[in-house]
Amino acid sequence: MDLGANTNFKLVLLSFLSQKIIEALETMTTENFTWNLDKATIEGKIWKTSNAPKGVVALVHGFFEHIARYQHVAEYFDQHDIALVGYDQRGHGKSSGKRGHVKKYEWLLEDVERLIQKAQEVFPNTPVVLYGHSWGGNIVTNYLLKRDTSKLAGAVVSSPWLKLATDPPKFQVALGKFVGKLFPGFTQTGPLNEADLSTDLSVGKAYKADPLIHNKISVATFLSTIEAGLWALDNAQKLQLDTLLMHGDDDNITSHTASQAFAQKAPEKVTLQIWEGMRHETHNEVKKEEVLKKVTEWIVGKVTS
C-alpha cells in the first residue's frame, strides 16, 4: 500500500470538502415568513446574502403580481451584498384575501411598516432601503409622505401608479364611486395587456402563464389607489427622504409624466431616471442589467455613506 498516495488522496478530498462547505456558506439563502393580520394571512420571503449584508431592501410589489417575481432582482442584489425582504400583498400571490380587494388603504401602509420592522429584525444594525413598484410605488410614496422615514437610508420608486397612463373616463369613475358605496368589494377584470410589461415579450408570456397572477381589482381598491396617487402628487414637496424615482417613457400602464411632475416638486430629494423606450417593468426589460446596475449603485451609495 502506498501511504504517500493515500495521504495525498485524503488531502485532496479534505480540500474539496472544505471548498464545498465554503461555497455552501457563501450562497444566497431564502426563508419564508407569515403574518396573521386582520383575519388575513400574509406570506413573505427573505433573501439572505451570501456575504455579510451592506444593506437590505424592503420591497413592495405591484398589482396582480407577487413577490417571487423578484427572484432575479434578489440574485443581482446578492452580488453586491444587498439583502431583500418582501411579501405578497393582501389578495395577491400566496397571501389570503379576495383577489384584488383591500378593504382599507391604510392597511397597506401598516403592512409597509411591518415589512420595515421585519427587515430590521432579521438584519439588525443594517441600513434599510424601501422599494416600491407600480401599485407598490403608490403605496411606498404615500408611506414616505405620511409616516416617519428617519429609520430608512433611502427609497426606490419604480413606475409608480401616481396616475394611469390613460385617465379613466369621468363617467366610469363616477359610476365606480356609486357602486363602491353599495358594494365596495365588487371586482372587475383589470384591462392589463401583458405586452405592456416589457419589450421582452417573454416576460408577458411568463406572466400570463403564472398561476399566482390574477386579473381582478375591486372598486374600493381602484378608487382608493387613484385618490392616494393624486394626493401624493399634490404633496410631493413634503418628501423628506432621498428617493430614486424611475419610469420607462414607453409605459402604457402608469404615467411617466406624473413621475416627472412629482420629481419637479421635490428636486432636492428625488433623483429622476426616465428610461428611454422601456415599458412598465424596467427591471424586466431587455436592458434590465442596465436598470439593475443603476438601482444597485444608488442603493449601495446610500447604505455605505
Band (267; pLDDT cuts 50, 70, 90): very high
Q: Is residue 10 part of a domain?
A: no
Catalytic residue among 61, 66, 92, 280: 280
Quick one: cell of 152?
Answer: 430608512
Q: Is residue 85 part of a domain?
A: yes
% of the chain at pLDDT higher than 70? 85
Catalytic residue among 134, 159, 255, 259: 134
% of the chain at pLDDT higher than 90? 81
Indicate the range of 36-40, 113-117, 127-131, 166-170 predicted with least confidence: 166-170
Annotated catalytic, 61?
no
Q: Is residue 255 part of a domain?
A: yes
Q: Is residue 60 part of a domain?
A: yes
**What's the domain count of the chain?**
1
Q: Is residue 62 part of a domain?
A: yes
Annotated catalytic, 251?
yes
Q: What is the pLDDT of residue 185?
A: 75
Annotated catalytic, 72?
no
Q: Is residue 20 part of a domain?
A: no
pLDDT, mean of residues 78-94: 98
For residue 205, give the CATH number of its domain.
Answer: 3.40.50.1820
Q: What is the pLDDT of residue 11?
A: 63
Q: Is residue 15 part of a domain?
A: no
What average pLDDT does the chain have? 91
Band (65; pLDDT cuts 50, 70, 90): very high
The DSSP annotation for the chain comes to --HHHHHHHHHHHHHHHHHHHHHHHTS-EEEEEEEEETTEEEEEEEEE-SS--SEEEEEE--TT--GGGGHHHHHHHHTTTEEEEEEPPTTSTTS-SSTT--S-HHHHHHHHHHHHHHHHHHSTT--EEEEEETHHHHHHHHHHHHS--TT-SEEEEES-BTBBSSPPPHHHHHHHHHHHHH-TT-EEE----GGGS-SSHHHHHHHHH-TT---EEEHHHHHHHHHHHHHHHHTGGG--S-EEEEEETT-SSB-HHHHHHHHHH-TTTEEEEEETT--S-GGGSTTHHHHHHHHHHHHHHHH--
Catalytic residue among 88, 251, 255, 259: 251
Q: What is the pLDDT of residue 167?
A: 77
pLDDT at 251 over 80: yes
- pLDDT tens for each residue of 203-222: 999 999 999 999 999 999 99
- pLDDT tens for each residue of 102-129: 999 999 999 999 999 999 999 999 999 9
Band (32; pLDDT cuts 50, 70, 90): very high
pLDDT, mean of residues 257-267: 98
Q: Is residue 22 part of a domain?
A: no
The pTM is what? 0.89
Band (37; pLDDT cuts 50, 70, 90): confident
- Domain range holding 233? 28-303
Band (252; pLDDT cuts 50, 70, 90): very high
